[in-house]
Amino acid sequence: MKRALFLLLPLLPTRTAIADFATPFTAPPYTLGASVLGMEGWASRLKDYAGDGASSRLVAVRWDNFQPALLLDGASIKNDFPATTGARVRVTLRIAFTFPMIELPLAQTRILIQNAPFGEIIFKCHPQAGLGLAMNPKEPIKVLVPFDQMRLNSYYTVTILVDYEQSSYDVTATGLKHDGSPLLFEEKGIHFESNAKFLKNLALITSQTARTYIQQLLIESL
């Protein structure tokens, strides 16, 4: 996480984005095999919870050409990054799961970003769920990738573009379906009502019944 890290985005050649939060797992101080706790703002959500060291580690992912990713397995961690400053904010997430193909309500992964008008990014093992967005875990999920189409150990890229001036957001999800064919979810102009004009602080909560890999998590002010 580098507050003042500037990236030129190929898709927006005339604009500059500020990466308010990024996961540069390929760079020090991150170390393969080691917990991310204590690095770049990562901390346990539950005070003195000893299990987080093993449950939130950086690994070289075998099925992704050994590219590094944050492996979460029964984790409950947070990162208190500063508030975003842009009139538009883009959240980009590249995430994969190992999970049982049955209804298992507690097999969840939750990504909570404070003030997010789209709610949580959530994964649930449930026929009416999958990977999607929800205002909280008990609310119905806006399904981006239906559970029965999800592919194990296969990355999904979720991009959410929040426009505070228009009070709306766009969301896309790409990846592979269960049968290996391409998946594309896209919905634009989803209206929201919120007084908050920024995102800040992040929490990752995962169960032990599904393993989660995060290869990229990027929050940018545009």
Chain contacts with other proteins (rule: CB under 8 A): 54, 59-63, 66, 98-102, 104, 152-153, 208-209, 211
Question: Please, which residue, 171 or 214, has the CB nearer to other proteins?
Answer: 214
In the complex with other proteins, which residue's Cβ is closer, 153 or 168?
Answer: 153
Q: Which is nearer to other proteins, 53 or 137 (CB)?
A: 53
Task: Say how far apart CA 107 and CA 123 lie, in whole Å.
Answer: 8
* Smallest distance, other proteins to C-beta of residue 211, A: 7
**CA dist 30 → 74, 91, 118, 178 (Å):** 20, 22, 30, 32
| Buried/exposed 16-39: b ≥16 CB within 10 Å, e otherwise | ebbbbbbbebeeeebeeeebbbeb
Residue 98: both structure tokens together: 């190992």
29 cis-preceded (ω within 30 degrees of 0) = yes
Q: Are 210 and 184 in contact (CB under 8 A)?
A: no
User: What is the closest distance, in whole angstroms, from the C-beta atom of residue 213 to other proteins in the complex?
Assistant: 9
Q: In whole angstroms, how close is the CB of 102 to other proteins at the nearest point?
A: 4
Closest distance to other proteins from the beta carbon of 59 (Å): 7
Shorter beta-carbon distance to other proteins: residue 2 or 126: 126
Q: Helices (H), strands (E): how many in the chain?
A: 1, 16
Residue at 210: amino acid letter: A
- Closest to other proteins by CB, 6 or 66: 66
> Minimum CB separation from other proteins for residue 31, in Å?
14
